[in-house]
Structure 1
């Protein structure tokens, strides 16, 4: 079995993987980073979104071997250095952008990627960016509101 090496949340890691091992499975099973969820196995739900070399990717669509040498960020790496919630996570809590929480890691990772490339997105831009993430509980109003708040915008501009 080939060995893959990557940096995950700032830490060098490596492991032996079969060629068919998906990145999501390597993260969850080998590294025990279980915040990245598997919701559909078909790349439609977005619960497995992670960052690979700064880009949001669905970890169920990428082999672990493809991430060899990459910088990978997971939901576990989103908290502040002191362990407190980062601005996006805090906004999800403050604006009730979660319900069961299953989709939340993927939503937060997608939100972080969006805000990196577009620090002040419009409501329409947030909704469009989240098209690859499915929430089966909340609808999307409070998720959009949380992302708008995390961007420093007045959440009153989000449609009621």
Structure 2
């Protein structure tokens, strides 16, 4: 008694029948194309996130500069000449490492002081606005600047 299945499997090999296993050139090209599309997508995402994080860093620096300027103005007496009505613009360079020039950013700081007589007819109130914007974006995501507003009033009795 012979085994019919055993003889049948030994009778033909894959190469004798003309069938070969493996990938065709078309399948390989399609796989490479898909891999390239995914790779370029990942590179684009990386570049966008780097730019976006740089913009977030600029916004954080601008906010710190605006808060520092606002604290300077708050610490002055109400009658100080620096709190006279008008607009001043200065340039500030900010960076965490002075040796690393690429880390330094230049910001434009605009301070506007207005004697507010509409909400306080006695003239004892000032509206102080500090706006900080990056001077040169340099291809980064631009946060568009930061604006802080403060109402400053003097005591009715004293000159502070």
Is the shorter-chain TM-score for this pair beyond 0.5, marking a shared fold? no
The TM-score with structure 2 as length reference comes to 0.22
The TM-score with structure 1 as length reference comes to 0.22
| Structure possessing the higher radius of gyration over alpha carbons | 2
Higher relative strand content = 2
